[in-house]
Amino acid sequence: MSVQTWTYIIVGFTFLIYIGIAIWTRAGSTKEFYVAGGGVSPLANGMATAADWMSAASFISMAGLISFMGYDGGVYLMGWTGGYVLLALLLAPYLRKFGKFTVPDFIGDRYYSQAARTVAIVAALIVSFTYVAGQMRGVGVVFSRFLEVDINTGVIIGMALVFIYAVLGGMKGITYTQVAQYCILIFAFMVPAIFISIQLTGNPIPQLGFGDTLVNSNVYLLDKLDQLSTDLGFTAYTFGQKSTIDVFCITAALMLGTAGLPHVIVRFFTVPRVKDARTSAGYALAFIAILYTTAPSIAAFARVNLIETVSNKEYSSMPEWFSKWETTGLIAFNDKNNDGKIQYVKDASINELHIDRDIIVLANPEIANLPNWVIALVAAGALAAALSTAAGLLLVISASISHDLLKKQLMPNISEKGELIAARISAACAVVVAGYFGIHPPGFVAAVVALAFGLAAASFFPAIILGIFYKRMNKEGAISGMVIGLLAMIFYIMKFKFHFFGETTAADWWFGISPEGFGTIAMLINVIVAVAVASFTAPPPKEVTDMVEEIRYPKGASKEIIMH
């Protein structure tokens, strides 16, 4: 069967599973809609968290980034993985003990202020919409190639599916859908990796094949890749070009942003106990590690196969996958010297091949000439990754509007039924806005997602961490810090990513720090402003400091016992 037929079968089957789960787990209360009733098992929540966390950026873009950036792409691995450890250790158990539905809920109550809650709502919406733009872009990329429709149509199909299980099932439906999506995406990611690892190195374990020698050769895979890269004028694959300060700032921004992402944090409110929050965080980290340790292998395998397939080869002899991807506009050949050969080199003036980073994982099985069902399986996995995260983000947007804005501020007397209707309407509107961002994305998937992490680091992380561990932090300090940090990050993005204030280049970056890394600086600005303002204003009320004491210690344990 053709790739397209296999894709219709496999993707169609997975979509039926998602819709079936949504109908089976239809939310009947606001608690089920927001936090799945608080009764999800640690194992299921670990899988759901992993699926929620491993978005289109992880599945589609991360290996593509590493494939093109080489050593420098490792910042995404370090940042995203390290951030989850930070979240699991420092935030998850405390936020679960606090027992609220959302991050704005925590900030509003911890800082005893509706203004703080409003700022948190605005931050949650900005972060979530920025993040969801990357997911919908990923959905469009997959549909445009494998179902052979244009990207806009692909985004609309994705919107319709997310609408069904996010709006109908809420967090309850999303949770169990994400369990299924994790199984699908990790299987889809690992199968081609194992196939190609055996092809290139003879080793069935991709993580080991990454450091192994090539089949029938004493040359190591990475040595081969370094040679291929330098021959074409690119930097050696294993050599980094980013400045140390930018590497540090990007890694830190991704870590701190992870610990402040509202759609990940809310997952720890869905388990029954604080202990379960810790356990599910451990499960999730193990599930995430499977994909994250495999991504560098896929990046290297794909880069070798791609260069050897296209470089200095006759355009007329290109395999079918090349022309299929050409129709999407994500790969393009411009024969500048009219010799009929593809000249793929670093020098932009003579380079004839444009390759979008987002196609590396998706095209990898085709480049390696794997069976058609494997190619279709990867498409299903990519859709599972993008849709699972999109659903989680849409729920955050929905809860921010219906629970934090309407219930907690504008309409405190709204009935539970009315709040549930408002939540579903909010989710439906969010789907439409997310679709617009998917049709008009501000960049390739991982770049957009990295900006969302910077925004989360600049706004949420200091407010949450200081709220838990610094009793003196008050509402004036938290509000000032969040507003200044968020504005600093938005200004930097607008100036250097979208050139809103005039054309800029990397040479203009402040201290050599990229927009993806500026979240670290904005976070430090947030902390400095928050602590300074808190020091010169009234301390929080005693009941608030008592509440902070309560969430920081296990139930039934005395501070004296813990201290000794």
pLDDT tens, position by position, 283-324 = 888 888 898 889 899 999 989 888 888 888 888 888 888 888
Residue 236 located in a structural domain: yes
Q: Going by DSSP bridges, is the β-strand pair 353-355/331-333 parallel, antiparallel, or unpaired?
A: antiparallel
Q: Is the pTM of this model over 0.85?
A: no
Contacts of 5 (CB under 8 A, 6+ apart): none
CA gap 330, 327 in Å, rounded: 8
pLDDT over threshold 60, residue 434: yes
- Residue owning tokens 């099932």: 169
Structural domain contains residue 563: no
Which among 188, 136, 154 is positioned nearest to 380, based on CA atoms? 188
Please give the Cα distance from 120 to 128 (Å, whole number): 12
Instruction: Say what the alpha-carbon torsion angle 213, 60, 44, 432 is, to the nearest 10 degrees.
Output: 180
pLDDT for 537 beyond 90: yes
pLDDT, residue 520, reads 93
Q: What is the pLDDT of residues 446-479, one digit of tens each?
A: 556 667 778 888 888 899 889 888 889 999 999 9
In a domain, 476, yes or no: yes
Q: Which SS3 state, helix, strand or coil, does residue 355 take?
A: strand
| Least confident residue range of 22-36, 156-170, 493-507 | 22-36
Does residue 562 fall inside a structural domain? no
Q: Quote the number of domains for the chain.
A: 1
Contact 416, 30 (CB under 8 A): yes
Q: Are 237 and 437 in contact (CB under 8 A)?
A: no
| pLDDT over 70 percentage in the chain | 91
pLDDT at 560: 43
Model confidence pLDDT, tens digit, residues 496-526: 877 788 888 888 889 889 888 898 999 999 9
**Would residue 564 count as lying in a domain?**
no
In a domain, 47, yes or no: yes
Position 532 pLDDT exceeds 80 = yes
| 81 assigned to some structural domain | yes
Please report how many Cα atoms fall inside a 13 Å half-sphere around the Cα of residue 531, on the Cβ side. 11
Q: Write out the residue range of the structural domain in which residue 216 sits.
A: 3-557
CATH number where 396 lies? 1.20.1730.10
Rounded mean pLDDT of 159-166?
Answer: 72
b/e string for 267-305 if b means 16 or more Cβ within 10 A? bbbbbeebebbbbbbebbbebbeebbebbbbbbbbbbbb
| 388 occurs within a structural domain | yes
Average pLDDT score, the chain: 81
Q: Note the pLDDT of residue 182.
A: 87
Q: At what angle do helices 42-53 and 168-201 cross, to 10 degrees?
A: 70
Distance CA 176, CA 38 (A): 13
